Amino acid sequence: MSKLLVTGRKKLSGEVSVQGAKNSVLPILSASLLARGESVIYNCPDLSDVEASVNILRYLGCRAERSGQTLVINTDGFDRCDIPDSLMRKTRSSIVFLGAVLARAGRVRLSFPGGCEIGLRPIDMHLNALRKLGAEIRERHGCLDCRAPYGLRGCKISLDFPSVGATEHIMIAACLANGTTCVTNAAREPEIRDLADFLNSCGAKIYGAGEGEVVIDGVGSLSGCAHSVIPDRIVAATFMSAAAATGSEITLTDVIPAHLGAVIPVFEDMGCVIRSSGTTLRIGAPERLKPLAAVSTMPYPGFPTDAQAPVMAAACVADGTSVFIENIFENRFRHTRELARMGAKIKTEGRVCVVEGRERLYGAKVDSTDLRGAAALVVASLCAEGKTRIGSIRYLERGYENLEVALSSLGADIKRI
Ligand code: EPZ
Cα of 118 vs centre of ligand 1, distance in Å, is 10
Closest atom of ligand 1 to 371 CA is 22
Rounded to the nearest angstrom, the distance between the alpha carbon of 408 and the centre of ligand 1 is 31
pLDDT digit of tens for each residue in the chain (417 aa)? 789 999 999 999 999 999 999 999 999 999 999 999 999 999 999 999 999 999 999 999 999 999 999 999 999 999 999 999 999 888 888 999 999 999 999 999 998 887 767 887 889 999 999 999 999 999 988 899 999 988 999 999 999 999 999 999 999 999 999 999 999 999 999 999 999 999 999 999 999 999 999 999 999 999 999 999 999 999 999 999 999 999 999 999 999 999 999 999 999 999 999 999 999 999 999 999 999 999 999 999 999 999 999 999 999 999 999 999 999 999 999 999 999 999 999 999 999 999 999 999 999 999 999 999 999 999 999 999 999 999 999 999 999 999 999 999 999 999 999
Q: Which ligand 1 atom is nearest residue 299's CA?
A: 12
> What is the sign, positive or negative, of the torsion defined by CA atoms of 310, 370, 189, 351?
negative
Q: pTM (2 decimals)?
A: 0.97
From the CA of 128, give the closest atom in ligand 1: 40
Domains and CATH numbers, the chain: 4-19+231-416 (3.65.10.10), 22-228 (3.65.10.10)
**Ligand 1: lining residues by beta carbon, under 6 Å:** 22-23, 26, 92-93, 116, 119, 121-126, 161, 163-166, 187, 305-306, 328-329, 371-372, 399
